[in-house]
Chain A
Amino acid sequence: MTNRIEARFQMLAESRRTALIPFLTAGDPGPEMTLPLMHGLVKAGADLLELGVPFSDPMADGPVIQRASERALLQGMTLAKVLRLVAAFRSEDATTPVILMGYLNPIERMGYSVFARAAAAAGVDGVLTVDLPPEEGEEYLAAFDSVALDPIFLVSPTTTDSRLRLIDRVARGFLYYVSLKGVTGSATLDVDGVRARLSNIRKGSHVPTGVGFGVRDGKTAAQLAVAADAVVVGSALIERLESAIERGLSQDEAIGEVAALLEEMRLAMDQIEELSHELA
C-alpha cells in the first residue's frame, strides 16, 4: 500500500505548492455534519484533512476547539465512531490523506495496538497525539510501526536543536511546527520569527514540515506558505462553522461558508507562491 501522506507531499512538491490542511473536530456540530464537511473541504482545496478526536480535557486547545470538543462529546462522539467516519470517508475518497489529532487517553483506553490496527484499517494515515512526547512513546511507536501508521509529532518554539533531532528520528509523515507559545487559535503570530524557525527545522528534518496554531486568515496562511510544506488551519474554520450554525443556516449553507474560507486561503497561498516562483 502506498503511503498517502508521502504521495501527497511528493505531488505537491512537483507542482511547487504548499499543502493546505483544514482541521475539524469529528462530530462537531453534529455527527451527521462531519462526512459532508470532509468532502466539502477537499473540494474547496484541502490537500490533507486533520480530524480532531474530541477529548473531555483538551489542555492544548483554545476556547474555540474546546467548545467544538464539548459539542461533539455531548452528541456521543467517541474514538471508535471517529474511525467509522474515516472508513466511510475512505469509501468515496481513496487519495486524500487523513490525520487524526487528539489526546492520549482515549487511545490508551482502546489499547495501542487495537487502535493502531483499527485506525490503519479505517484508512487513517497519521496520528498526532498532542500530549505524547516521543520519550513516552515507545509502545505507541511500536504499535504504529507494525501497521505503517505515521506518528506525527509537534515541534514548538521551545524545542531545542538536540530535541528536534530526537523528534525527527521517530516522526513520520510530517513534522507539525506549533507557530507560537500558546494554545490553538491564539491571536498573535510573529510571522518573520516563525518563518526563520521553519527554515531551520526544514533543514534538519527528513520529513516535510507543516505549521499551525494561530493561522487565522488567507494573508497569514500565504505568508507562512512560502516557508513551510503545509499550513494547518483549525480554529478560524470552526469559528466560521459556529457562526453559520448560530445564524440558523442549513447544513449545506454552513458547509459552503466554511469551504469559502478555505478557498480564500488556498487562493491567497497560490497567488503568493506563483509570485515567488516568478521572482525566483
Chain B
Amino acid sequence: MTLLEQPNEPIAVSSLKQPDSRGHFGPYGGSFVPETLVGPLQALTEAYDKFSEDPAFQAEFDEDLANYVGRPSPLYFASHWSKKLGGARIYLKREDLNHTGAHKINNTVGQILLAQRMGKSRIIAETGAGQHGVATATVAARCGLECVVYMGAEDIQRQAANVYRMRLLGAEVVSVHAGSRTLKDALNEALRDWVTHVDDTFYIIGTVAGPSPYPRMVRDFQAIIGREARVQIMEQEGRLPDALVACVGGGSNAIGLFHPFLDDADVALYGVEAGGEGLSSGRHSAPISAGLPGVLHGNRTYLMQDSDGQIIETHSISAGLDYPGVGPEHAWLHDQGRARYVTVTDDEALTAFHEVTRCEGIIPALESSHALAYVRTLASELGPDKVIVANLSGRGDKDVSTVARLEGIEL
C-alpha cells in the first residue's frame, strides 16, 4: 500500500533525506577539518551537487559500472549453504565478482569522474587492506592520472600482494610509520598530503566517513548495490527480503546495500562489526558496539577511544575492518534503531570463511566473512520461510596467505 492510500497515516521524514545541507546525520557527520580544507571541501560539495544532477555524468558512471566494473553483480541464491544451515533462504550479493574483486571500485569509478571534471591532475587515497588502494590505482591508471596511496607500514607487511598490484598499476605506495601504522594513520597522512597539495589534488576517500560531503557521496556511489539487490530479489523471490546483513568497518558496503531499503520498515538491517578476540578482550574494532561518540578524520561518529579522548588501537583479523571509527550515517541509524549493529569474533569469521568456501565454492574476503558469520546465527533464528540478503563485499584471494599462516602454512 502506498502512502497516498493512507492519508491519515503520519508521514515520517524519509531516512533517505539525510544528511542535512552541512553533512549532518543527526548529531553525527559534519565537517571537522583544519581551515585550509574548508574551501576545497566546499568546492568538492558544489562540484558533486552539480554533477550528480547532470545526466551526462550519470550516464558515464552507469556505462563504467556496466562495462568496466561488470555490473550488475549477481544476486546468488546460496542453496547449498542455506540447506546446510537449515534456516532462512540466503542470497549473496556478489560484489566479489566486480573488477578488482570488491565493492570498492563502485566508488572510485564515481569519484575519478568527478576529479576529471574538476580538472585535478593528481589522485591520493588511503588504504587498509589494500582493496581501496587497488581500486583507486586502477581507475587512476585508466584515466592517466598520477596516483599516490598512503598505507600503514603494518598493513604493507600484511598485504604485500596488493602493494605490488598498486605498483604495477603505476601508483606510488607511501608507507606510513606514524601512530599505530594502520589505516587510521594512512588517513591522517592522506589528509596532510591534501592540505599541502589542495590545488591540483583530488582525495578519493574509500569509505562513508571523513568530512562532508564524503559520507554522502560515497554512499550515493555505493547505493548501486542495494538498488540492484532490490530489483534482483523481487525477480527471484517476488518480495523484499526480511533481513540485510553486511560487515561494517567504515561501512561503505553496508550503507550501499542498506540505503535503498531504509524506508522499508519490514526489512531488518544488520551491520556486523569486527569483534576481534571478543569485546571483553578490548582487542576489537567495534566502535558502535563498544565505543563512544567523538570527532576524528573530519566527522563526528562512534570511536574507539580512551577516557582522555585519545584514539586507541584496534584489532581485527581483517585489515579492512581494522579502523577505530565508523561512517556517521551508521552512527545515526544505530541511534535511531533503524539498523542493528552486532559483532562477530575473528574465529567466527574464519569458521564462516571456511564453510562458505567449501559449501558454495566461493572464497569470501575476511571482511565479508564477518557478515557471513552473523548470517549463520540469523538464518536459524529466522527460520526457513524467511529471506536474507548478505553482502559478499569482496573476494578472499588477498586473504589466502593470512588464513594459511593461521594454519601454520607459509605460502
**Interface on A for B, CB 8 Å cutoff?**
55-63, 66, 70, 73, 78-80, 103-110, 130-133, 135-136, 153-160, 163, 167, 178, 181-183, 186
Instruction: List residues 328-350 of chain B with CB under 8 A from any CB of chain A.
Output: none
Q: Which residues of B contact A136 (CB under 8 A)?
A: 30-32
**Min CB distance, B315 to chain A, in Å?**
16
Are A58 and B188 in touch, CB under 8 angstroms? Answer: yes
> Which residues of chain B are near A59, meaning CB under 8 Å?
34, 188, 191-192, 297
- Residues from chain A with Cβ under 8 Å of B30 in the complex: 136
Q: A59-B188, A131-B34, A181-B197 are in contact. List 19 more A-B contacts (CB 8 A).
A: A55-B310, A57-B311, A59-B192, A60-B192, A73-B310, A78-B308, A131-B298, A133-B33, A133-B38, A136-B30, A153-B35, A158-B37, A158-B38, A158-B198, A163-B38, A167-B35, A178-B34, A181-B196, A181-B199
Q: CB within 8 Å of A: which of B135-184?
A: 178-179, 184
B383 within 8 A of A: no
Q: Which of A80, A132, A178 sits near B36, CB closer than 8 Å? A: A178
Interface residue range, chain B = 35 or more
Interface string of B195-225 (1 = CB under 8 A from A): 1111100000000000000000000000000
Residue B309 is within 8 A (CB to CB) of chain A in the complex: yes
Query: 10 closest A-B pairs (Cβ-Cβ)?
Result: A109-B309, A106-B309, A158-B39, A154-B35, A156-B36, A78-B308, A105-B309, A182-B196, A156-B35, A60-B34
Q: Hey, which chain B residues are within 8 Å of A79, CB to CB?
A: 308-309
Residue of B nearest to A78 (CB): B308
Are A155 and B188 interface neighbours, CB within 8 A? no
Say yes or no: A109 contacts B305, CB within 8 Å.
yes
Contact A160 B39 (CB under 8 A): yes
**Would you list which residues of chain B between 280 and 317 have a CB under 8 Å from chain A?**
292-298, 300, 303, 305, 307-312
A178 to B38, CA, bound (A): 13
Q: Which of B1-55 contact A (CB under 8 A)?
A: 22, 30-40
Chain B interface mostly helix, strand, loop or mixed?
Answer: mixed
Contact partners of B296 in chain A: CB under 8 A: 57, 105
- Find out whether the CB atom of B309 lies under 8 angstroms from the CB atom of A108: yes
| From B33, B198, B308, B310, contact of A181 by CB (8 A) | B198
Closest to B308 in A: A78
User: Do A57 and B196 touch across chains, with their CB atoms under 8 A apart?
Assistant: no
Q: A156, B34: Cβ atoms under 8 Å? A: yes
B192 near A159 (CB under 8 angstroms)?
Answer: no
A-B contact pairs, 18 of them (CB 8 A): A55-B310, A59-B188, A59-B191, A61-B192, A78-B308, A105-B296, A105-B309, A108-B293, A131-B295, A133-B33, A136-B31, A153-B35, A154-B34, A157-B36, A158-B198, A163-B39, A183-B192, A186-B196
> In the docked arrangement, what's the CA distance between A107 and B294, Å?
9
Task: Verify A159–B38 contact, CB threshold 8 A.
Answer: yes
**What are the residues of chain A within 8 A of B307 when measuring CB–CB?**
109
B195 close to A182 (CB less than 8 A)? yes
Do A70 and B309 touch across chains, with their CB atoms under 8 A apart?
Answer: no
The answer to whether A105 touches B305 (Cβ under 8 A) is yes
Q: Which residue of chain B is the closest to A61 with respect to CB atoms?
A: B192
The smallest beta-carbon distance between A169 and chain B, in angstroms, is 15
Instruction: List A contacts of B198 (CB < 8 A).
Output: 158, 181
Tell me whether A181 and B295 are in contact (CB under 8 A): no
Instruction: Give the chain B neighbours of A110 by CB distance below 8 A.
Output: 309
